[in-house]
Amino acid sequence: MISDVFQSYNILFLLEGLKITLEIGVGSIICSVIFGTVLGVSCHLKIPVLGQISTIYIDIIRNLPCLLLVLVVRFLTPLPPVWSGIAAMSIFTAATMAEVVRGGLNAIPKGQYEAAHSQGMNHYQIMRYIVLPQAYRNIIPPMMSEFTTIIKDSSFVWAVGTEELTGKGMILIGKYSETGQLFAIFGTVALIYFILNYSLSLLARWEYRRLRV
Q: Which residues bind other proteins (CB under 8 A)?
A: 59-60, 62-68, 71-72, 75-76, 148, 151-156, 158-159, 166, 169-170, 173, 179, 182-183, 186, 189-190, 193-194, 197-198, 201
Using alpha carbons only, what angle is made at residue 113 by residues 110 and 115, rounded to the nearest 5 degrees? 105
Q: Cα–Cα distance between 160 and 51 in angstroms, integer?
A: 33
Q: Which is nearer to other proteins, 133 or 187 (CB)?
A: 187
Q: Which is nearer to other proteins, 35 or 158 (CB)?
A: 158
Q: Which is nearer to other proteins, 21 or 37 (CB)?
A: 21
**Cα end-to-end distance, the chain, whole Å:** 52
Q: Which is nearer to other proteins, 194 or 206 (CB)?
A: 194
Q: Which is nearer to other proteins, 94 or 127 (CB)?
A: 94
User: How far does Cα 1 stand from its chain's mean position?
Assistant: 37
Q: How far is the CB of 66 from other proteins (least distance, A)?
A: 7
Q: How far is the CB of 114 from other proteins (least distance, A)?
A: 26
Phi-psi domain of 76 (left: phi exceeds 0; alpha: psi -120 through 50; beta: other): alpha
Q: How far is the CB of 99 from other proteins (least distance, A)?
A: 11
Q: How far is the CB of 213 from other proteins (least distance, A)?
A: 21
> Of 133, 94, 131, which is closest to residue 114 (Cα–Cα)?
131
Residue 161 · residue 167 · CB < 8 Å: yes
**DSSP letter at 201?**
H
Q: How far is the CB of 50 from other proteins (least distance, A)?
A: 22
Burial 145-166 (b: 16+ CB within 10 A, else e): bbbbbbbebbbbbbebebbbbb
Q: Which is nearer to other proteins, 47 or 71 (CB)?
A: 71
> Of 50, 144, 61, 46, which is closest to residue 95 (Cα–Cα)?
61
Q: How far is the CB of 180 from other proteins (least distance, A)?
A: 9
